Amino acid sequence: MVRSTLLGVGSHVPERVVTNDDLARLMTTSDEWIYQRSGIRERRFIERSGVGASDLGLPASRAAIADAGLRPEDIDAIVFATLSPDYFFPGSGCLLGDKLGLNGKPAIDIRNQCTGFLYALSVADGWIRTGLYRHVLVVGAEVHSTGLEFNDRGRDVAVLFGDGAGAVVMGPTADERRGLQSLCLHADGSGVKDLWCEGPASAYDPRVDEAMLAAGRHYPKMVGKHVFRWAIEKMPEVAIEAVERAGITLADVDLFIPHQANMRINQLVAARLELPDEKVVHNIEQFGNTTAATIPMALDRARREGRVKPDATLLFAAFGAGYTWGGAVLRL
């Protein structure tokens, strides 16, 4: 049986560092409030208008392709996960394909927010296992900073998010012990309005108007306590599901790489899974929540720090808007 496995990984963040104190100059907040509730100290924002998710995805993709020992032309397909695509349409995957010189190669966008990377991975996994495509580039990239409201009305959301990108190259392996051992995905639309960006919306005619803009309905809105409660229930649940489906136990997990939404969420999830801190990857302190990019960014960082051993068993779990959630076990 063919499985899909990780061939290369890369990441990229803009150079501009924005600290909690920088945000406190724009809204009534403080480093203490943000750090205590989220674990975030700073995040990266793009330096100028005109840089989209595909632009951040480009260097991350190049790094992942080089890490895989491949050239861009060896990539057979792109799966691009983002909630902040460069444009309403066409998708950022098409833009990235053009920037990589992959004109003619298929590209698909995945719009599953913080679970986007795992949904994207499932598409790559299916394509590879059926033999449709061999080398699939999976990208998670976000430019949040142009879509946040930097004032007191938007402060609950604005302090949490950052810009960044991560990418992996997936390819086939005939070694059943390697590669994706399980992938579990879920969605429940009953929580749509707990975390959403309402406009512009095709459900409205016109899609956006002065009243919507004045009310800030084109900025993300969140019922933070609801999101928190759902996340700490669903992330451990799906992590256990992924582990069981892979036929292993939590004790077999070498490294847990959760979506980086909030340090408190991830500490509670790790505690419920009884995973010690040395087996858990956190990078939210420096980058905030980069949504579809968090898992590949954290994987890349952990590997650079020497925390990802050859043959390691990795556990991923994510939860986000939709609601959507997912888990996966990957053996290197």
Residues that bind ligand ACO (CB under 6 A): 29, 33-34, 37-38, 114, 155-156, 159-160, 195, 222, 224-225, 227-228, 231, 261-262, 265, 289, 319-320
Rg, the chain, Cα only: 19
CB nearer to ligand ACO: pick between 38 and 54 = 38
Instruction: In angstroms, give the least distance from the CB of 261 to ligand ACO.
Output: 3
Ramachandran area for residue 278 (φ above 0: left; ψ -120 to 50: alpha; else beta): alpha
Q: Which residues pair with residue 318 across a beta bridge?
A: 326
Instruction: In angstroms, give the least distance from the CB of 148 to ligand ACO.
Output: 11
CB nearer to ligand ACO: pick between 43 and 135 = 43
Cβ-contact 69, 54 below 8 angstroms: no
94 is catalytic: no
Catalytic residue, chosen from 12, 20, 94, 114, is: 114
Helical residues (DSSP H) of the chain, grouped into ranges: 20-24, 31-38, 53-67, 92-99, 116-129, 155-158, 210-215, 224-245, 263-272, 284-287, 294-304
Instruction: In angstroms, give the least distance from the CB of 324 to ligand ACO.
Output: 10
CB nearer to ligand ACO: pick between 259 and 331 = 259
The residue number whose beta carbon is nearest to ligand ACO equals 224
DSSP string, 256-272: EEE--S-HHHHHHHHHH
CB nearer to ligand ACO: pick between 265 and 275 = 265
Catalytic residue, chosen from 259, 266, 282, 283, is: 259
Instruction: In angstroms, give the least distance from the CB of 172 to ligand ACO.
Output: 31
DSSP-derived pairing of the beta strands 136-142 and 164-173: antiparallel
Instruction: In angstroms, give the least distance from the CB of 31 to ligand ACO.
Output: 10
112 is catalytic: no
Cβ-contact 234, 186 below 8 angstroms: yes
197 is catalytic: no
Q: What order of strands is seen across the sheet that includes strand 107-110?
A: 3-12, 164-173, 136-142, 77-81, 107-110
Q: 59 phi and psi, to 5 degrees?
A: -65, -35
Q: Look at residue 109 and give its three-state secondary structure.
A: strand
CB nearer to ligand ACO: pick between 173 and 262 = 262
| Cα-Cα end-to-end distance for the chain | 17
Q: Which residues are catalytic?
A: 114, 259, 289
